[in-house]
Amino acid sequence: MSERSVAVVTGAASGIGRETVDQLLTEGWNVVAADVNSHNGERLLSEVDAACLPDRVEFVRTDVSDEAQVEAAINRAPERFGRLDSVINNAGVGGAFGPVTELEVEDWDYTFAVVTRGVFLGTKYAARVLKEAGHGGTIVNTGSLAGISGGAGPQAYSAAKAAVINFTRATAVELAQWRIRVNSVSPGFILTPILGSGGRHIERLQEDIQPWPETGRPHHVASVICFLAGPASSFVTGESINVDGGVTAAGPRVGDTVGGDPAARGLVGVARGSTGHESVVHRRIDRPDSAVVQRGT
Ligand SMILES: NC(=O)c1ccc[n+]([C@@H]2O[C@H](COP(=O)([O-])OP(=O)(O)OC[C@H]3O[C@@H](n4cnc5c(N)ncnc54)[C@H](O)[C@@H]3O)[C@@H](O)[C@H]2O)c1
């Protein structure tokens, strides 16, 4: 039996999950890769084979909304590799979309079954194995920017991801006494197949709402997942880390849109509001030599 750390990754056959498998392998982990898409799972195995690491990954076709399948995938880690250290509940779909008045109940339920039930089941069986083993461990859930705001995804997906983020906090509190840490990552806009045709607009998105001047890619998120899965984050639990190139930090960018931020108009100075003292524009950035005093802004 191996003494390497062992992870189960769901949604492992594409995008963020696929990159997480690679980064875990590079860091020396063994991995059970779980995904509902067998075709992409086979491709993952052949790529891992080509990298000469066939004995360190097992693919298990798993639908994360199915309790028996999740239990089997997680139990596969100790069966095949002798232990379990981390479960990464990452599988996801965009789910139901359209005006709320038109949403079908079965599409709403499908969204929650994959996004939220999948995380619940992954946590349930991870905690069983880890508690029994008694050596602690980690659970990392993939949330979303959509789970912390109203405008970043369809209604069902947003609600389901909000549930994932708070389920993470609740289970972190419950499981801390067994040294099981539970955290989530919330990606912003990451170029993966889940964006569908929306991926075409990612560069415009970057210009309009994302401060960091680089396209979000799976490796940006995978490295944070690996940090939360491993010992470097040993005092972090119940946390949600946004991996969004500063989108959340920027907020609604009202200043840029309605001109309320003088910096956007190239001005430098100090606003003293309704104190009765003067607000001052020291200079314009485009004409640094010009000094203007502006009263009463
Ligand atoms: N890409 C983004 O911009 C973005 C933003 C926020 C959150 N996320 C989240 O990141 C996670 C990974 O998504 P991604 O961007 O890599 O997309 P992706 O489509 O590339 O990968 C998602 C994987 O989940 C698998 N999956 C879907 N339903 C499943 C099920 N029932 N059981 C098992 N596997 C299932 C798919 O087969 C696929 O391999 C998801 O939870 C997604 O909601 C992505």
Confidence class of residue 256 from pLDDT cuts 50, 70 and 90?
low
- Using the mean position of ligand 1's atoms as its centre, give its distance from the Cα of residue 96 in Å: 14
- Backbone φ and ψ of 269, nearest 5°: 175, -155
Please write the tens of the pLDDT for every residue from 74-98: 999 999 999 999 999 999 999 999 9
Q: For the chain, which domains are there? A: 6-250 (3.40.50.720), 254-284 (no CATH)
Distance CA 283, CA 273 (A): 19
User: What pLDDT, on a 0 to 100 scale, did the predictor assign at position 288?
Assistant: 45
Residue nearest to atom 20 of ligand 1 (CA): 15
| CB distance 91 to ligand 1 below 6 Å | yes
Q: Is the model's pLDDT at 162 over the cut of 50?
A: yes
Helix (H, G, I), strand (E, B) or coil at 144: coil
User: What pLDDT, on a 0 to 100 scale, did the predictor assign at position 236?
Assistant: 98
What are the start-end ranges of the H helices in the chain?
15-26, 38-50, 67-81, 105-112, 118-133, 155-175, 202-208, 218-229, 247-250, 254-258
Q: Is the model's pLDDT at 28 over the cut of 50?
A: yes
Distance CA 253, CA 159 (A): 23
Query: Residue written as tokens 């095949």?
Result: 80
pTM of the model: 0.93
- Using the mean position of ligand 1's atoms as its centre, give its distance from the Cα of residue 20 in Å: 12
User: What pLDDT, on a 0 to 100 scale, did the predictor assign at position 208?
Assistant: 85
- Using the mean position of ligand 1's atoms as its centre, give its distance from the Cα of residue 44 in Å: 15
| CB distance 85 to ligand 1 below 6 Å | no
User: What pLDDT, on a 0 to 100 scale, did the predictor assign at position 200?
Assistant: 82
DSSP state string for 231-274: GGGTT--S-EEEESTTHHHHTT-HHHHHS--GGGGTEEEE--TT
| CB distance 64 to ligand 1 below 6 Å | yes
Q: Looking at this protein, which amino acid is placed at residue 249?
A: A
- Number of Cβ within 10 Å of residue 160's Cβ equals 29
| CB distance 92 to ligand 1 below 6 Å | yes
Please write the tens of the pLDDT for every residue from 29-80: 999 999 999 999 999 999 998 777 779 999 999 999 999 999 999 999 999 9
- Using the mean position of ligand 1's atoms as its centre, give its distance from the Cα of residue 90 in Å: 6
Q: Which helix (H) or strand (E) holds 61?
A: strand 57-61
| CB distance 195 to ligand 1 below 6 Å | yes
Please write the tens of the pLDDT for every residue from 108-155: 999 999 999 999 999 999 999 999 999 999 999 999 999 999 989 999
From the list 157, 164, 269, 281, the catalytic residue is 157
Quick check: is 125 catalytic? no
DSSP bridge partners of 292: 281
